[in-house]
Amino acid sequence: MNPAQQVAVEHQNGPMLVLAGAGSGKTRVITHRIARLLERGVPAHMICALTFTNKAAGEMAERVHHIVKEQRLGGKDGAKGIVISTFHSFGLMVLGRERKSLGGTFTIFDQGDCVGAVKDILSRIHANKAVDSAAVLARISNAKNAFLSPDELEVREGDEYDEITKVVYPKYQSALRSFRAFDFDDLVVEVARLWKERADILDRWQKEYLYVLVDEYQDTNRAQLEVLRLLCERHKNICVVGDDDQSIYAWRGADVRNILDFEEQFAGAKVVKLEQNYRSTAPILAVANSVIEKRSDSKYKKRLFTEKLGGDKVKLGVAPSPEAEAAYVARELRRIIREEQRKPKDCAILYRSNGQAKLLEEQLREQGVPYRMIGGQQFFERKEVKDVLAYLKLALNRADEISLRRVINYPPRGIGDTSVEKLTQHATAKGWSLWQAVERVDGLDGVSNPARDGCKQLEGIVGDLRKKLLIERAPASGVARELCEAIGLKKDIDATSTSTNAGARRWGNVEGLFGILGRREQRVEAKGGDATAERDLMAFLHSLTLQMSDEDEDPGNVVTLSTLHGSKGLEFDVVYLIGCEEGLIPHMRTLETRATDTSGVPGAAAGNSQDIEEERRLFYVGVTRARQRLELLRCKHRVMRGKPMPRTPCRFLMDIDDELLEHFEVKDASPMSVSEMATSANNLLAMLDALGK
């Protein structure tokens, strides 16, 4: 370890802020700091490390266990008992253990469930049909992340969506509570509220964790800060690791002030800077430093350096058009993979907006370059997977109205929208849950006979599920298989899929869920536990809701296409950062015209300074993804509203010292000859064959 890393590892008591520049070995610091605490006799169960993704938490846990085993730390149990998890998984653990104080069993709503709840509220308050329910939900989420209750939410004058959100937010919260449900944000917010309201519960958790470590601290929001402040206010032993230069998630609630104001929030904090970079070559770091040192909102100045000598100069290419830009990148990738023996998985193309990927995909296919896009539909968001999970959740919690509404007529059983509305009206009038209306359908007026039969059929299916899961203690994987057979799910999937292959793929997703449930049962059995206990199964279903991405899936040996936001935490030998133009980076949304333009870029709007600085940090993140080679590209013209329009270079390019760049012109894409077309077709067939294998 270098001297700065060693200081961070050796510090024990009191608050500490570790400012870890890109590629500076922050995970190494966190894991070795945990090992050092164990070495000094701190019990493993009193250490809690929090981060933001399941992948990061898994990697951190694996490295900690490896160090502990290698150095024989922590006594006979080693690192057993250390909590290493995401904020939301930690919140779920707290709420699960305190469920009696919260009224018992609860359900976790995913994004689709939450949008459905907002849509229902909008329809009930007779809101204009043009209202975007996802946009309203996003504003509710932002309010929760800022730790604002419905009463505390302020409405900006003339903002229609603020006014609608002010009405919907309290009704949305009431709906969640009536369903005995929490949304994703509640897993943090409700922990803070519970701890603030119940000093006895807070006292217990403060005594449980004596040392708290936080990774990617620049990505925390105000609600997460409140949880950390409460948890650590007694012992003050909090170590946060982050980089204000890489704070790029304000749009989803992250507050860069948390890291900038850490010394005010936690008095007497020690500050350590990690500036030695172990990832990138010196020319790449020189470009990164040129961009980030121009930050206007920086409190902690850092300058990355490396002991590695040499490296290719960063290139800046100018293409006549987006088509030429995409064609150049695809050709270059094909060349370096073939001639330089580069592995596709070591290469990436980064861009500001998903819309820029379409031309790239066309050209990569044409050149026979295999690729993957980060940001596709995730496994637990797929309809067929959510349908099966909804049945299981409903069996364990019949007050889960979102799950009930999802499966009440799927597969079709005669309960159409009109019948669901009738059932809802009766439930509202009598103060019942929707499930109680289903159970008592025979005594309700205005419900058709097919719908009555469908309700009885559903009641029998859910009752059978509950019996198998809670009384017979049957394994959930087997119960799920029997459920799918009983409701004819495979038959419905085959009938509603656009092709045989699509049907097979969708059913394969269901089989994948069976496998996940089965592996969970094997793990519980290996530990000598009951794999079918209601609490354990519900906790597991909750944990599946928190699997926000297919992080465990191996993408294979393919080129990565990603937005700059999606690339955070990744690194590649070769990176092409395209679309370096005003309006793309910084994005057009940040370029609100002001009376004064201080950018110094001809034709550029000044924009909101905070938004512009976040775009600068985003550009910096893209640059620092590259290990060995970086190419920046921009276009002279883009077609807008049917006309080719001249483009202005990205203002961040202007901040790079000219001698650090190697300039070149990208030639326009020319029509392919017959032989080139044949070669391209052969390349495409070879790529499809390789992917098939």
Which residues are known to be catalytic? 26-27, 215-216, 246, 625
| Dist CA 274 CA 280 (whole Å) | 15
> Per residue in 636-666, is it b (16+ CB within 10 Å) or e — as a string?
bebeeeeeeeebebbbbbebbeeeebeeeeb
Token pair in block for residue 580: 């370096």
Token pair in block for residue 513: 């869920």
Neighbours of 601 (CB within 10 A): 17
Q: Give the C-alpha distances (Å, rounded to integers) separating 239 from 227, 247, 415, 523.
A: 14, 18, 55, 32
Which residues, 6+ apart, have CB-to-CB distance to 319 below 8 Å? Answer: 325, 328, 633, 634, 635, 636, 666
Q: Do the Cβ atoms of 223 and 144 come closer than 8 Å? A: yes
Please give the sequence-ordered ranges of beta strands (E in DSSP) within 356-470, or none if there are none: 371-373
Q: Give the C-alpha distances (Å, rounded to integers) separating 345 from 363, 422, 546, 554, 668.
A: 18, 54, 27, 11, 27
| Dist CA 67 CA 32 (whole Å) | 8
Q: What is the DSSP string of 534-554?
A: HHHHHHHHHHHHT--S-TTS-
Token pair in block for residue 270: 């020690």
Token pair in block for residue 92: 């779920």
Q: Torsions phi, psi of 663, nearest 5?
A: -85, 145
Q: Give the C-alpha distances (Å, rounded to integers) separating 454 from 45, 577, 588.
A: 50, 55, 51
| Dist CA 578 CA 568 (whole Å) | 16
Side-chain-facing half-sphere of 388: CA atoms under 13 Å = 32
Token pair in block for residue 328: 């150049």
Q: Do the Cβ atoms of 623 and 284 come closer than 8 Å? A: yes
Q: Do the Cβ atoms of 560 and 374 come closer than 8 Å? A: yes
CA angle 579-584-586, nearest 5°? 120
Which residues, 6+ apart, have CB-to-CB distance to 264 below 8 Å? Answer: none
Which residues, 6+ apart, have CB-to-CB distance to 283 below 8 Å? Answer: 311, 312, 313, 314, 660
Q: Do the Cβ atoms of 69 and 34 come closer than 8 Å? A: no
- Residue 276, strand partner residues: 305
Give the three-class secondary structure for 371.
strand
Please give the sequence-ordered ranges of beta strands (E in DSSP) within 194-343, or none if there are none: 211-214, 238-242, 270-274, 314-319
DSSP assignment letter at 221:
-
Q: Do the Cβ atoms of 474 and 518 come closer than 8 Å? A: no
Q: Do the Cβ atoms of 405 and 420 come closer than 8 Å? A: yes
Neighbours of 533 (CB within 10 A): 14
Nearest to 626 by CA among 215, 217, 304: 304
Burial (Cβ within 10 Å: 0-12, 13-18, ≥19) of residue 289: buried
Helix and strand counts by DSSP (H, E) for the chain: 27, 17
